[in-house]
Amino acid sequence: MTEKKLFNKENLVPEQEIYTDFQNKMTYGEYLQLDRLLNSQTLLSGHHDEMLFIIIHQTSELWMKLILHELKAAIAHIRQEKLSAAFKMLARVSKIQSQIIQSWDVLSTLTPSEYMEFRGKLGQASGFQSYQYRMIEFSLGNKSRHILEIYKKDRELHDCLQKALHEPSLYDVSIQALAKAGFPIHPGQLERDWSQPYQPHPSVEEAWLSVYRNVDKYWDLYELAEKLVDLEDWLQQWRFRHMKTVERVIGFKRGTGGSSGVPYLKNVLDHRFFPELWDIRTKL
């Protein structure tokens, strides 16, 4: 097969080395499995805007998959006292979060009348059931045994979430890092039932206060603390944009998954993942 001369548009110089014969080579589309990916949008209605709704949620799930990939590795590195490596991963998570937040701007172009054209096709399916979002919450320390009831239909998935429920969170391993640095953390905060939601403790607060008052001495722990605050800040912004988009599109209707909708989303805005890191700001 004769190679075609492909031109660089800026200077009209032919690009002689560009590959055009892929009979026995892997293509970009094959590497990314685009046939599967781009044929995974199955519309249940004939409405034009259902495509927007599906793609926004599918891309959010892809971003969440990457968030979990980075959080898992960051937790492992912190446990191994490799904080610098963890910082890069946590910084990447914050950047991913900013991308997910911007997706709400796209979804908010969906008007109430447009959404009502296909909302009934969803049945009881809801973003509330996103198992990856639950895994992210578990990774950050917001544990809930009751929520696992939703996933009993899929035994493998249920077992995966059950395992995550009983593992230490990002904040748990960060507190362990404080102890390894010599701070007198209460033993109950270091070896506890990881399946229970985290409860703040004075020993942890005092340790973080010392870190912030002695930045030069504890620079790595100080940087870790700020990375954690970044994560929670971005997550709360994501929650807020979610709540406002839902309010804009469906008002105060109940969610398709049975939640109260906007009132539920407003309530979760009050939850804090890393409470001591927020409390010390008033005391510094």
Annotated binding site for substrate: which residue ranges?
A: 53-57, 115, 119, 256
Binding residues for heme: 242
- Could you say which DSSP state residue 2 is in? P
User: What whole-number distance in Å separates Cα of residue 130 and Cα of residue 140?
Assistant: 16
Question: Quick one: angle between helices 131-140 and 170-180, nearest 10?
Answer: 20
Binding residues: 53-57, 115, 119, 242, 256
Task: Judge contact between 243 and 106, C-beta under 8 A.
Answer: no
User: What whole-number distance in Å separates Cα of residue 178 and Cα of residue 176?
Assistant: 5
Q: Where are the alpha helices (DSSP H) in the chain?
A: 28-31, 34-38, 50-79, 83-107, 112-116, 131-140, 155-165, 170-180, 187-190, 202-213, 219-250, 262-268, 275-283
User: What whole-number distance in Å separates Cα of residue 134 and Cα of residue 268?
Assistant: 13
Task: Judge contact between 59 and 128, C-beta under 8 A.
Answer: no
